[in-house]
Amino acid sequence: MSVGEFTASNIAMDMDEKDKNKAGTVDMAKLTSDIAAQKELAGKGQLTQAVEGLLNLEKSSRLAEDITATKACCSAILDVCHEAKDWRALEENVMLLTKRRGQLKQAIQATVRQAMSYIDAIEDKDTRVSLIKTLQAVTEGKIFVEIERARLTRRLAVIKEAEGKVEEAADILQEVAVETFGAMAKTEKIAFILEQVRLCLDKKDFIRAQILSRKVSPRAFVERKGEGQGEIGIEGTAIEEAEKGTPSLSALKLRYYQLLIRYHAHNNNYLEVTRCYRAIYEVHAAAEDADKWKPVLKAVCWYLVLSPAYSTPHGSSSDRTTLLTATMQDKKLSELPGHKALLTTFTTSEVIRWAAFEAQFGAEMADVAEEVFADPQRRSDLQLRVVEHNVLVAAKYYSRLRTARLAAVLDLTQEKMEKHVADLVVCGAIRAKMDRPSGVITFAPAQRPEEQLNGWAGNIARLLGLVDKSCQLIEKEAMVHKVGLATAS
């Protein structure tokens, strides 16, 4: 390497070369026989003496800075403790080996990983938790075992959640910020963050769930070069293999949007819920799995209907129009004629009668009862959207309308009709003035004086133009028929 190539990856490779040069200073054949003798001694029940002998071998290997020999000695100490089922001794020796002066980082990492492999074999829950906490204490503050610490924290959170302590599990998992880990696989990072979001949603901490969900971008679910196992990350460290059982990127994408649906559904933000279902639908539609994309497309249609047709703090009307147009143009929607008719009903400028609407789309509503209408609030919001659609239609066709007539069209009492019209005026969906004494609603917006004068001037100009054109035609006809026109004296 030249002097100018001073990068993090080159530094890491230089360190690996130095570590390789340190290896081989201990006679491995003799060390192997000595370790076997100590294991045989431990098999006879003399665990303490065997551990003392192995610690002496570890010390000499560590002082010689032989990585292979040191790791072999540490592994042997853990093996004899594990075979004897002496978990207390295992914890003490893990703590001792990792705290010894000048201990090699590779040896600490190997010790922690080997101890982690014993966790699932421990039947007693308290013993398992104790070992996890010991390993957490050992890995605290050490960057080279940060991935192992994150995995330990996740296991502890799983145990606490199984005990019904969801809040404690969420607090434990939030202690680790895996987004800063350069050597962790991207899929494992995303899975860890999504688990944090899920626990926050389970304990009803929706604000923190939103903050955590923003750590994952939809662009993260696209495979990019330089993110695979063994490749060098931006910090100069090789990306490690994801933990066994980590879902694939496509499965994580579905889980991500399902968690966002839970969050936005809590806030009744139907437009964002529609976007999430739309993203899930695109995944299933690409796979051509009708059993999966059909229920999702049905949910997309219903949440589009539930979304307000006007701009709100949750989203603009243009976003809804874009989603509605894309859904209506989808060829797969033709396989769901009932839901296509549903969207068509809300795109035409016709009054919707709730009784007729319920009779026509009752079967479709029952089909998505669990996914969409499990909350009774959804049905109330659907009735509200029908009323709002009817008011918008009335405002489109009428400039003045009697309140009694509008209440009859909406199938509402006059008080409820006034409330819905007032709400739409406040939202900016329509412009209207209500004259209660005379019982008249004016939908036409009030004109400013200059606009009114410009309108009058334009009307007069058009009128004079028509008079002038009529005079010319009359004179033309008189000349053709040689008829004299009497002129005023």
If one compares 58 and 26, the residue with the highest pLDDT of the two is 58
430 domain-assigned: no
What local confidence, expressed as pLDDT, does residue 251 receive?
A: 92
The three-state secondary structure class of 232 is: strand
What local confidence, expressed as pLDDT, does residue 180 receive?
A: 85
388 domain-assigned: yes
Domain span at residue 101?
25-139+146-161
**Which of 243, 225, 244 minimizes the C-alpha distance to 233?**
225
Query: Tokens at residue 371, please?
Result: 């996914």
In sequence order, the β-bridge partners of residue 401 are: 441
312 domain-assigned: yes
Q: Is the pLDDT of residue 206 over 90?
A: yes
Mean pLDDT within 4-28:
50
Whether residue 191 contacts residue 199, with contact meaning beta carbons closer than 8 Å, is answered with: no
Mean pLDDT within 260-271:
93
pLDDT bin (cut points 50, 70, 90) of residue 479 is: confident
Q: Is the pLDDT of residue 443 over 60?
A: yes
Rounded Cα distance between 163 and 304, Å, is 40
What local confidence, expressed as pLDDT, does residue 18 receive?
A: 47
CATH of the domain at 88: 1.25.40
234 domain-assigned: no
440 domain-assigned: no
Q: Is the pLDDT of residue 137 over 50?
A: yes
What local confidence, expressed as pLDDT, does residue 71 receive?
A: 92
pLDDT bin (cut points 50, 70, 90) of residue 338 is: very high
Residue percentage of the chain with pLDDT more than 70: 91
Structure confidence by residue, pLDDT tens digits, 341-362: 999 999 999 999 999 999 999 8
194 domain-assigned: no
Mean pLDDT within 148-172:
92
What local confidence, expressed as pLDDT, does residue 469 receive?
A: 93
What local confidence, expressed as pLDDT, does residue 233 receive?
A: 55
**Which of 314, 296, 313, 308 minimizes the C-alpha distance to 372?**
296
78 domain-assigned: yes
In sequence order, the β-bridge partners of residue 156 are: none
What local confidence, expressed as pLDDT, does residue 392 receive?
A: 92
The last residue of one of the domains, among 397, 412, 431, is 397
The three-state secondary structure class of 228 is: coil
What local confidence, expressed as pLDDT, does residue 24 receive?
A: 56
Mean pLDDT computed over every residue of the chain: 86
Total domains in the chain come to: 2
